[in-house]
Structure 1
């Protein structure tokens, strides 16, 4: 679960008893490796946490009796201290390696067990947050001292287990040696973990203990924590997607079947005209005949340089009828990008029309206006499922786009699945809204033109105007539509009539961050899928009326497999985040002219010999019901001041605010080169309002430093957010200093300045970002309490860590506190000598160096000339 802004301690427990044979095996391993049972269990727990979290630097706290001096052995009192054990699990360590490391560090820690944990926190000065404890958030305890009850002649004594519903840390694992075996108690924070999650984790831990005790010499990544039923669930049950499609044949075959059955039915409607299936077929056949005569054949790649129009649809169909594969060259793209795509794909012919500016070197332009005398009869073609159908270009890490080559068999698997699952028929009216060069356009076009449906083409104006797009969908009586995620989220914020012809809107391209409300009159289908798996990999209907969390991305589509694996290609348990891999019939051939990249991304299938998996670079986890939860890109997880942060989590919370229409959060560098979170927001509220809202829902380190108000978020031609078009921080905006605006803010800033030893403190600067820590926080609170005569707990400064926030909190405390009656002054007898205050002592000392000076009687000095 998302971590609350302020740490809670609502706890519960789960108990696990290990079989005595496993207990004996762990003791045997401890003796063999020269370690105590505590060291062995601690090493197992730290290596288990590493596999569970994917992190290599693991810190665990553990209490120690701290009675290592003979003088205090007989004393009654509390001498317990907390030690922190840090394990480095990088590389390919075996459990023996980890145990040796833990043993050495434990022995070293025992030498310095007198150092209080609070002193370590003071010296290390970790980033502080009210959302969790410092340095470590999980504890491990072993109770291996037998507790013998005293025997009384006339009374019996019985041990009663006590339970306190308080979790001191996120997760504490307490082990105890009993007659029944090794007993583990998992004490967990209910606001962070579900009971089912802990129960599942306990089962994984038991399996892990079995693995490390029986195979300690094996690399950790070779060991499994999954039971056989869970392994089968992840490998087989949830990937049982085999589906025999009722429709056979390739794109052109199915389209021509519709032409024969309904030649006068509407096929295409654009902003200026509409074509029937018969008219569309004629246009496509004329182009196909020309292209075949010019030498286009299977595996030939032909470009199309046309905007969204009926002519574009005819051109795509004509290229396929000729036996070739198409590449859409969007006129909205820069010419340099288009020229690269033409060269990279080996394009010799580009289909275009009059009115389209542009000329490309080394290719022949085929103009549609010149085809009127061509035959309208479809040419013969020799195409098989392994032939190339199209190439779609996506952004590449090198700065150059990469071409994804999709074969007919992959395309037909997606088309057939779409038609059967969503029950597409000739009665449907669908839309083409996505960018024409975007892979989602493939799903918008072919499942509908091969089913006899009517395809309505959007305009660029409709794409950027949600109200107009809604009205167009209603007036055109659209039944099925796709909308890129940013566009859909705008549509969901609008009011809709109670009934429309619209059955569903599919969305994809970005992470969906909101659920539809109960009054939306159509279903929302959330899809996930990279171009490398032919548009769609998983899908699900999004439930309505949900107010927390983000929608899942569903389950794999027909004849598709998904796996969530760790860095060593091992299955991760349910609920654990890992890397998402895809297999099945929809996989693309690879990348055009990039065999090295194809080999890197399309790897041998670790579970099926002779097959492939595609490495997506996305993070995901399985939910307990088999649906997948998307967790962003591998490179979307950022680290700010030592904290790992998911930008999508901040965006989801920010977009839940009623005044926010759209928001995106990025990491930017300020003028000093420091990383900071920047929120770009489209909305009607104020920056102060948004900041305060986030402060009540997120830890301070996840609240953006800067908020930039936008009229709209820029989109790429494909309908995705154009992150490069967002403004960067200038030096002035990066400083973004707002100085105190009232006496209370001025006083707080003054106290901070004195304690921190710096000047120019803005009201939105964080005390801890400026170098503050717990000891300095105590000084600040002490001074403020002295001045205002109010009770101000130190934790308030952690929660309200800016001058602005603390000022408002103190104002509330002042107004809410009862007026104190000041007792009257009473004359008191004085002795001969009255102790000086510290301030008086300082003044007396200064007077000794400059006797009779009137300096401290002068409030100000004015120099007069004349």
Structure 2
């Protein structure tokens, strides 16, 4: 006997699957003056684009709304930076339905077929009462809105002489959870794209930009449906110039030298100045340079080629600093690995980076040795062994170009699978000078090195001061875990510049609020890695009004922090 599943059960199962798929695409917050209200922006779709859309719709036997959904998905992916997006979609007029799309398909044609399939499925499941979906949300423990954007193509018809389906529904006000609603209508024989938006989220200029992105996406679809949309930009030439030039910060002229060469210049200027301190040990510029040169020659003697990857597996100490500089001097690429990582992770990192040479130290090889058991071609070199080979300690003079690979950092990756971000010497140097300029690092200043080796911020903390005659203070992890001792270490080390994550800054603040103490040498505290809340900034300036906060953010792929907001007081309001 054949079993039939009732439509309501089928629809319920469908929505359960959609709701449990996860993911949420927020609408952009692009206004400096958020005020309650609703704005509207509309513009006609160019005639040649409309002609191309109708031709493509007929050729592929898909309705115009599917083309609009394709463009909308592309725009949301560009705005959010995510391939998987959610939006509300009005399938047959009336209430918007949750629509999940992926922009993973490479070509416009493939993306269009995907969007059409999703749009075709929705009407079959739209009769589930809203209260049933809310009940299902509650059962699944979901809170908040399902989407913040809505695409409503139900006013669009293939023939402009046809009757509009439900103009009243299209013209409805935005709901509380909807920040923007994209619709289309016919007016005086033209197809018009309209955006209604909440003015606490967007302003008129931002709305015009978003409408422009939709128009560009539609034009690109019609121009070449087989083009790879992932390689195409929605930005106009004017906006591209604005983002690349006007938002790029100062146009900094970099010296025609690499990081290690600039360090060598400083060695010649003040060889006896202290370059780095760790616990009760310190090295002068001359001592650090000599040790780095001997390590570099040991690497070259083992056949290190240009851009050859050298893993450094040490604790955060002075030999780590010498090893990093040595890799640059030898023309290699630095790959940081923490010695306490599991053997499988170390092996995977070495393998993926095609690393055949590892610099390490006694006491840091336990899991490394296990990892190397599966990598017979990878050679281990102890730093003490390299020193004992008694290589000359003069500068090597190996040519290193600006576009040469400087380092590889393995990040967590958006999927949880570590990925190696490769950065060149020019990018590294540009970032180092951004820190020097914005944090006003100069001769005699002290930068605290606090970050673990595998975080990209560890590199600028380690070498930045050495370019300008300053000093690096390497702060041990056990000191960092003891906040009062950490503050004593900052004072004893005369630290000028410090970088921490907001959660650790909060621990420091709590200590300072409970047991106030001056920090006479500290001038800048850079905060990165997490969102800096306004309340935390207010607390900081209430306790240390003379020490500036720098709200920093950036990506490993772009040589670390790309944004610095230097603050001498808490912001009056939050800019979204």
- TM-score normalised to the size of structure 1? 0.46
2:461 paired residue among 423, 444, 448: 444
* Cα deviation, residue 135, structure 1: 12
* Separation in 2, partners of 1:461, 1:429: 20
Deviation at 1:322, TM superposition (A): 5.5
CA distance, structure 2, for counterparts of residue 320 and residue 267 of structure 1:
18
Q: Give the Å deviation of 1:536.
A: 1.6
What does 1:624-643 align with in structure 2 at a 5 Å threshold?
Answer: none
How far residue 454 of structure 1 moved from its aligned partner, in angstroms, is 1.1
1:198–1:494 CA distance, 2 compared to 1 (3 A): farther
Partners of 2:326 and 2:394 in 1: CA distance: 9
121, 127, 144: which one aligns with 2:137: 127
Distance (whole Å) between structure 2 residues aligned to residue 347 and residue 249 of structure 1: 27
- The 1:395–1:233 alpha-carbon spacing in structure 2 relative to 1, beyond 3 Å, is closer
1:541 is matched with: 565
In structure 2, what is the equivalent of residue 13 of structure 1?
A: 39
CA RMSD in angstroms comes to: 5.5
Counterpart in the other structure of 1:432: 449
**Structure 1 residue 433, shift from structure 2 partner:** 1.0
Alignment of 1:555-594 (within 5 A): none
Deviation at 1:347, TM superposition (A): 4.3
* Contact 2:450–2:475, Cα closer than 8 Å, also in 1: yes
Correspondence for 1:61: 90
Match of 1:501 in 2: 521
Tell me the SS of whatever aligns to 1:49: helix
Change (3 A) 1:273 1:164: same
Specify whether residues 221 and 58 from structure 1 end up closer, same or farther in structure 2 by C-alpha distance, changes over 3 A only: farther
Residues 429, 453 of structure 1: 8 Å contact kept: yes
Q: Structure 2 vs 1, CA of residues 399 and 258 (structure 1 numbering), >3 Å: closer, same or farther?
A: same
Q: Which residue of 1 aligns with 2:20?
A: none
Change in Cα spacing, 1:123 to 1:444, as seen in structure 2 (3 Å) is: closer
Query: Are 2:478 and 1:461 equivalent residues in the alignment?
Result: yes
Pairwise CA distance, 1:409: 4.6
1:428 is displaced (CA, Å) by 1.1
| Whole-angstrom distance in 1 between the partners of 2:324 and 2:52 | 70
Deviation at 1:481, TM superposition (A): 2.4
Matched, 1:522 2:548: yes
Structure 2 residue 530 is the aligned partner of structure 1 residue 511: yes
CA displacement at 1:541 relative to structure 2: 1.4
Q: 1:46 to 1:461 in 2, by over 3 A?
A: same
Shift of 1:375: 6.9
Change in 2 beyond 3 A, CA 1:442/1:172: closer
CA distance in 1 between counterparts of 2:228 and 2:280 reads 64
> Against the structure 1 CA distance between its residues 319 and 202, is the aligned structure 2 distance closer, same or farther, given a 3 Å change threshold?
closer
Among candidates 369, 380, 384, match of residue 368 of structure 1: 384
Q: Deviations over 1:481-510 (max 9, x none)?
A: 2335653454455537676422323344x3
1:249 and 2:257 are equivalent in the alignment: yes
Distance 1:444 1:121, change over 3 A: same
Alpha-carbon shift at residue 422 of structure 1 (Å): 3.9
Q: Take 1:406 and 1:198, find their aligned partners in 2: how far apart are those partners?
A: 36
Offset at residue 453 of structure 1 (A): 0.7
Q: CA separation in 2, counterparts of 1:332 and 1:274?
A: 25
How many angstroms does 1:211 deviate by?
Answer: 6.9
Q: Secondary structure at the match of 2:90?
A: strand
> CA–CA distance in 2 between the matches of 1:498 and 1:251?
34
Cα distance 1:493–1:117, how it changes in 2: closer, same or farther (>3 A)? farther
Given the superposition, is the C-alpha separation of residues 525 and 105 from structure 1 closer, same or farther in structure 2, using an over 3 Å criterion? closer
Q: Which residue of 1 aligns with 2:167?
A: none
SS in structure 2 opposite 1:127? Answer: helix
1:229 partnered with 2:238: yes
**Gaps spanning 5+ residues in structure 2: where?**
1-24, 28-34, 78-83, 163-170
Shift of residue 181, structure 1, vs aligned partner: 6.2
Three-state SS of the structure 1 residue aligned to 2:498 is strand
- Residues 504 and 97 from structure 1, CA distance in 2 versus in 1: closer, same or farther, beyond 3 angstroms? closer
Residue 429 of structure 1 and its aligned partner are, at CA, apart by: 0.7
1:332 corresponds to which residue? 340
Give the deviation of 1:478 after TM superposition. Answer: 1.0
Alpha carbons of structure 1 residues 93 and 431: separation in structure 2 relative to 1, 3 Å: closer
* Rg comparison, structure with higher value: 1
Secondary structure class of the residue paired with 1:264: coil
Query: How many angstroms does 1:475 deviate by?
Result: 3.8
* SS of alignment partner, residue 443 of structure 2: coil
Q: Which secondary structure does the structure 1 equivalent of 2:265 belong to?
A: helix
Given the alignment of the two structures, is residue 258 of structure 1 paired with residue 266 of structure 2, yes or no? yes
In structure 2, what is the Cα distance between the partners aligned to 1:82 and 1:408? 54
CA distance in 1, matches of 2:183, 2:413: 49
Tell me how far 1:468 sits from its aligned partner. 3.1
Using the TM superposition, give the Cα deviation of residue 14 of structure 1 relative to its aligned residue in structure 2, in angstroms. Answer: 1.6
| Aligned: 1:352 with 2:361 | yes
Map residues 239-318 of structure 1 onto 2, 5 A cutoff. Answer: 243-245=252-254, 247-288=255-296, 304-318=312-326
Q: Distance in 2 between matches of 1:265 and 1:390?
A: 28
The whole-number CA distance in structure 2 between the counterparts of 1:374 and 1:226 is 57
Instruction: Determine which structure has greater relative contact order: mean sequence separation of CA pairs < 8 Å that are 6+ residues apart, divided by chain length.
Output: 2
Conserved? CA contact 1:489–1:514, under 8 Å: no
- Deviation for aligned residue 1:369: 8.4
Aligned-partner SS, 1:477 = coil
Shift of 1:196: 4.3
- Indicate conservation of the 8 Å contact 1:10/1:167, yes or no: no
Tell me, yes or no, if the aligned pair for 2:87 and 2:147 is still in contact at 8 Å: no
Residue pairs, 1:658-669, within 5 angstroms: none
Corresponding residue for residue 852 of structure 1: none
* Superposition pairs of residues 780-799 of structure 1, within 5 angstroms: none
Residues in 1 aligned to 2:55 and 2:328: alpha-carbon distance in whole angstroms = 71
Contact 2:554 2:560 (8 Å CA) reproduced: yes
CA distance in 2, matches of 1:369, 1:105: 68
Residue pair 1:477, 1:501 contacting (<8 A) in 2 also? yes
Flag the 1:187–1:117 CA change in 2: closer, same or farther, 3 A.
farther
Change (3 A) 1:472 1:228: same
> Any idea what the Cα deviations from partners look like across 1:624-667, whole Å, max 9, x if unmatched?
xxxxxxxxxxxxxxxxxxxxxxxxxxxxxxxxxxxxxxxxxxxx
Distance 1:126 1:394, change over 3 A: closer
Q: Secondary structure at the match of 2:460?
A: helix
Instruction: Count residues in correspondence.
Output: 497
Does structure 2 conserve the Cα–Cα contact (< 8 Å) formed by 1:61 and 1:82? yes
Q: 1:352 to 1:196 in 2, by over 3 A?
A: same
TM-aligned CA deviation for residue 271 of structure 1: 0.9
